[in-house]
Amino acid sequence: MESAISSILFYVFAVAAVLCAFGVVAFRNPVSSAMNMALCFGFTAAVYFGMGAQFLGIVQLIVYAGAILVLFLFIIMMLDVKAEEHARRSFPLACIAVIIAGIFAGFVTKVAISLPGATSGECPALVLCESIGDLAPGAVEQDTAAKNHTPYGAAMPELSPAAAAIELGADEATAAKATAFPDTKLLGKSLFTKYNIPFVILSFALLAGTVGAVALGRKLRKN
Amino acid sequence: MNTILQWCDAVLSNEIWFYLLTTVLKLVLIFAVILAFVVLSVWIERRVAGWIQDRPGPNRAGIPLFLLKRFGSKEKQPLKNILHFFGIPEDCWIARLCKWLRLEGEIPTFGLMQPCLDGGKLFLKQELTPKYVRKVYFTIAPMLVLGPPMVAAAVIPFASTVNTCYGEISMCVANLGIGPLWIFAISGLSVYGLSLAGWSSNSKYPFLGGLRASAQLISYEVAMGLSIIPLLMMFGTLNLQDIVQYQATNGWTLLPFWGEGLTIQRWAMYAPIAISFVIFVTCVFAEANRTPFDMAECETDLVGGYHTEYSSMKFASFFMGEYAAMVIGSALVVTLFFGGWSIGFGADAALSAWCEWVAVLCQFLMFLIKLVAFIFFFVWVRWTLPRFRWDQVMKLGWLVFLEVAVANIFLAAAILYYIQ
């Protein structure tokens, strides 16, 4: 029952998000487009929540809907909205946009279709492990636990809230009570250990953006 | 009768139904509390303002006794008649108590009826929508201001957990693992209401008000988020129910006088926590758009700010939204810094061991008392400090609070690492 509800909600939110994304392009009024984008972010966050990724969902809301889009709106409101509403769209520009969007959609579809288990609707990681176990009997031990091995032969970590809690240093008694994945902690741990260098490099990119904005602002003020 | 009881038992034994029913009950309760507190805080605001400015404030709106014809009008001394009606002698302790409470005239409500009558007045006023506004956004803007604080209240725990024979009830509508972030995210969305109201009014002063609101809210959200990181480092969790439980056992964050919170590390942590508290509370003021930070509606330079063009209940929605944001802000400050529902003096565990329901009731009352105290503080500040200038607000947010909050994180980390 629970999984039925969550899959129904997933489709509702996903369809709503896609419709809002269409609205962003379809509306003539830039403020309406921006508000549609905000709704789209909200529905995407709802999809994250449905998957149990609460932290990602809330970050989506705080960063995109709460900050970035408000700044968008801030700029749009200073435009002459009436002029934008009556502006005509050029046909060649639309064609180029459609081609780029089509290529991107094609990429995503290709990746989704070529994932293992895409046709049967199973978890890609599990299917991959099973097939490796079948194809190369010498590489992985042929026991009942073959499923629990990654393609590289290492033991795959157990996926359960309790196991995740133990990995983060909780004791057995508290871990046994865990019902949801400690997603904030897991995300933080992987960001600051495994993916620390890309994380730091990305923040330098943001810093560069900030410094650039300050430099531009300074120059304008002098003139 | 037995069949009904059996049916109730069957319904409650079903896990999903039990969860649904308790959640709906908690939802109704928290919603009622927030709305009641919106009304109550309007009253507190006006009474305290009167008190600070040495005038009575609204104290006249009472329940007029002439409605109760039997006991006569104010001049005819209704108290005497009532006492006579019940056959109570005029010099007994009940009569003296009534006189001490100044009950001779009319039923005293201490002006508590004033917000209700104000609400009625605003309902009945003519609603005027100017022709030049953008209707759709003009209509949804007040909803976008009033809605988010109500949704944000879902994660605030108002009592501890109760074990019933059907299962455990956690006294908090949504026991999410991301409590404070949920409140930041949802109450951050009310900026849409303010800026859309300003823009859709299609006139100069509201527009400036909307721009100021969005700039101010975004600036202070950054410092607000960074300021509570030292606390989260200490708690080690983002779940508000766990945070309050931690404070109930280890002493309140800002008053660690009881429980197991008297270690050296905890006292050393007091410095970063105090800094966090100052920054966080100031940011809550800014987020709730209250004086000294009410730049978006400051009447000296913007007429009425973003709600200049609004009238009747739409205006009242902005008003209520502001007070709801204040209530949620106070609730969050109480939850993070003053132990939330925790009774203190080490009484929580003992009371829970004695009777869980009594404990929960006491904790709920304690939470409300703390909430009222903090709302009083909000009002006190409003009527004491003058309004900042716009550039001062921005400077304070970006040049002082942001830097201090970041430095504070490193200070807290150093203390947690070096002092064991």
Please, what are the averages of pLDDT over each run of 10 residues along chain A (223 residues)? Answer: 73 91 85 88 88 84 84 78 72 88 90 74 63 50 48 53 65 63 78 87 89 78 54
Cα A199 to chain centroid distance, Å, stands at: 16
- pTM for this predicted structure: 0.81
Q: Is the pLDDT of residue B419 over 80?
A: no
Cβ separation A67–B188 shorter than 8 A? yes
Least confident range from A171-175, B28-32, B342-346, B356-360: namely A171-175
Between B314 and B69, residue with greater pLDDT = B314
Where b means 16+ CB within 10 Å and e means fewer, A60-83 reads bbbebbbbebbebbbebbeeebee
Most confident of the ranges B240-254, B290-304, B403-417 = B403-417
Binary contact (A62, B199; C-beta < 8 A):
no
For the cut 90, the answer to whether the pLDDT of residue B159 exceeds it is no
pLDDT digits (tens, 9 = 90+) for B73-128: 555 566 666 777 777 777 777 777 776 666 665 555 667 777 888 888 888 888 88
Domain boundaries along the sequence of chain A: 1-82, 160-218
Say which of B177, B188, B211 has its CB closest to residue A180.
B177
d(CA A92, CA A174): 61
**Whole-angstrom Cα distance, residue B187 to residue B326?**
11
Q: Is residue B38 within 8 Å of B27, Cβ to Cβ? A: no
CATH class of A1-82: mainly alpha
Which residues are bridge partners to A149 per DSSP?
Answer: A155
Q: What is the rounded CA–CA span in Å between residue B144 and residue B253?
A: 33
Minimal Cβ distance to A67: which of B196, B210, B218: B218
Residues of B10-23 as b/e, b for ≥16 C-beta within 10 angstroms? eebeeeeebeeebe
The answer to whether the CB atoms of B221 and A183 lie below 8 A apart is no
**Closest by CA position to A40, among listed A16, A12, A73:** A16
Each residue's pLDDT tens digit, B4-63: 888 888 777 777 788 888 888 888 988 888 888 888 888 888 888 888 888 877 776 666
Residue of A nearest to B204 (CA): A78
What residue type is assigned to position B67 of the chain? L
Contact at CB, A31 and B225, closer than 8 angstroms = no
What is the distance between the alpha carbons of residues B412 and B270, in angstroms, rounded to a whole number? Answer: 9
3-class DSSP state of B69: helix
pLDDT confidence of B404, banded at 50, 70, 90? very high
How confident is the model at residue A100, as a pLDDT?
Answer: 93
pLDDT for position B385: 85
Contact residues on chain A for B181, CB-CB shorter than 8 A: 55, 58-59, 62
